[in-house]
Homo-oligomer: A and B are copies of this chain.
Amino acid sequence: MRDLRKGGWDVYGYNRSPRTVAAAQRGGFDVSGDLAATLQRAEQDRALVVIGVPVPALPVMLEAIATHAPTVGFTDVSSVKVEVHDLVEQAGLTDRFVGGHPMAGTANSGWDATLSGLFDSAVWVITYDNAKTVGDPGAELWLDTWRRTIQLAEAVGAAVVPTVARRHDAAVARVSHLPHVLAEALAVTGDVGGPLALTLAAGSFRDGTRVAGTEPALVRAMCENNRAALVKALDETLALLHQAREDIAAQEQDIHRLATEGHAARMRFEARAGRSSKDTPHRPVIRVQPGAPGWVEQLNSAESMGAQIGIF
């Protein structure tokens, strides 16, 4: 809301917490505690609705949208996408839904935790599982929702990357959920070493355990909603660690293999992250025309490169 208003957008919202509503209103924002009224107003305005609730709260929210905003498009910002798409389909709302996942956030919540510029240069994933092409039934509403979701992400400075839900969930299991599980295990193993180990701990332990500082409930929610993909990623890591364990114990010095592969992988990540940093504004962008013949193939191709897209 902060960044959109700064960008000149007409933005208003609903929150179930009276404290949050009061704090937002004191900050001069147009926020209400009446869900039905807010959704009716969105329907009236032909607004794009953005849902930002935990996955377990989604069914109730989808029902409210079906009832009070029966014809406008909507998107979400959840960190998993398969389960969200399934719930949207069960609610019969697929034709006007585009999934979203801004890859930015903090461990804090509530109005006081809001901040400007959070999404600047961040990746904002947008799903295209239910993509329509001009001429398909309902294409106009869905394509309008897709365009407006991209405009929303771009308005707050994010880089839009298209994926299908399943591949999004597989990717974040590897690069977001797995790091949390490893950090927890490292924190516990270090702690078992007692005061001496914690005194000797320096940078490698500090960095390796940082996300173990995340609220346990948030970590649990991540893992619960992406079980299959996380188990697959964790099994791969376990296989690598078992091999390393055997190599170290067998005195074959073959930890060299994992160390070499790990080093090369980190270098590829750094090269890639460098390209998408604020310091390098010339990120390659693939331009697509939503709904044009062949556009889904373009999205597939952008996804396979992890490329940013823009719209004509």
Q: B-contacting residues of A (Cβ < 8 Å)?
A: 103-104, 122-123, 125, 161, 163, 167-168, 170-172, 174-176, 178-217, 219-220, 223-224, 227, 230-231, 233-238, 240-242, 244-245, 248-249, 251, 253, 255-256, 258-270, 272-273, 276, 303-307
A-B contact pairs, 7 of them (CB 8 A): A163-B196, A174-B190, A174-B197, A175-B204, A187-B269, A189-B233, A197-B306
Chain B residues with CB under 8 Å of A193's CB are 170-171, 174-175, 233
| Chain B neighbourhood of A248, CB < 8 A | 223, 227, 230-231, 234
Give the secondary structure class of A's interface.
helix
Contact A208 B183 (CB under 8 A): yes
Question: How many subunits of this chain does the assembly comprise?
Answer: 2
In the bound complex, how far is the Cα of B298 from the Cα of A279, in angstroms?
A: 53
Closest 9 CB pairs of A and B: A184-B262, A199-B306, A191-B265, A195-B306, A216-B259, A175-B201, A187-B265, A212-B266, A179-B204
CA distance A178 to B261 in the complex (A): 16
- Is A198 a contact of B268 with CB atoms below 8 Å? yes
Decide: A261 and B200 in contact? CB cutoff 8 A: no
**Which chain B residues lie closer than 8 Å to A240 at the CB level?**
184-185, 188-189
Q: Report the minimal beta-carbon distance from A113 to chain B, rounded to whole angstroms.
A: 16
CB < 8 Å: which of B186, B202, B238, B266 contacts A104? B202
Q: How far is the CB of A17 from chain B (nearest CB, A)?
A: 24
Shortest A108–chain B CB gap in Å is 14
